[in-house]
Amino acid sequence: MNERQRARRPGGRSARVGAEVHRAVTELINERGYGNFTVGEVAARAGVADSSIYRRWGGLETLLADVTLTRLNAQSPMPDTGSLDGDLRTYAANVAREITGPDGLLLVRLAVALSSNGQQGLRARDDLRDERTRQLQSMLDRARERGEHTLDAFDVLDHILAPMYIRVLFGIGPLTPDYIDGLVDRLL
């Protein structure tokens, strides 16, 4: 997301266009999967001009990353429970709920689709990863400010997220509360 996008006012026409474009992308993903539609099809479904999408997002890859990150932030926001232990347990439970839900591994599918879509796709994938890592780091920074022992954001990715994604990808077993708590316990 660029500075211009962040500077937009939360209401008005821009917000309505953004919401309609996001809705159209979500519908098309559910109907066809990633990579099986064009900016033109998104624009037609959203009732906007192609140029509006290109001007705001630059291309399909960046739009897909924005839709996914917006969704993740809404459904799995960074918790602030007052302790790192509580934050990690809440975050891990939210991620487990998200990746075992009806849309499952949305983020993994997007990363794979973007990775195979040239330089712009790789840049959008990296931007998506970097933004989510930045959000994780903000949770860890709060813990540090409270005087708690802290970790690196990649420790959370390696020791909590990766095992859950692997289990879901390969159908290894359910993500039970005990399993999720065990991941957090081992990390801490």
Contact 46, 24 (CB under 8 A): yes
Tens digit of pLDDT for each residue in 145-186? 999 988 999 999 999 999 998 998 888 989 999 999 999 999
**DSSP class of residue 180?**
H
Is the pLDDT at 137 greater than 50, yes or no?
Answer: yes
The model carries a pTM of: 0.75
Of 109 and 85, more confident: 85
CA-to-CA dists, residue 37 to 25, 112, 168, angstroms: 9, 16, 26
As a whole number, the mean pLDDT across the chain is 86
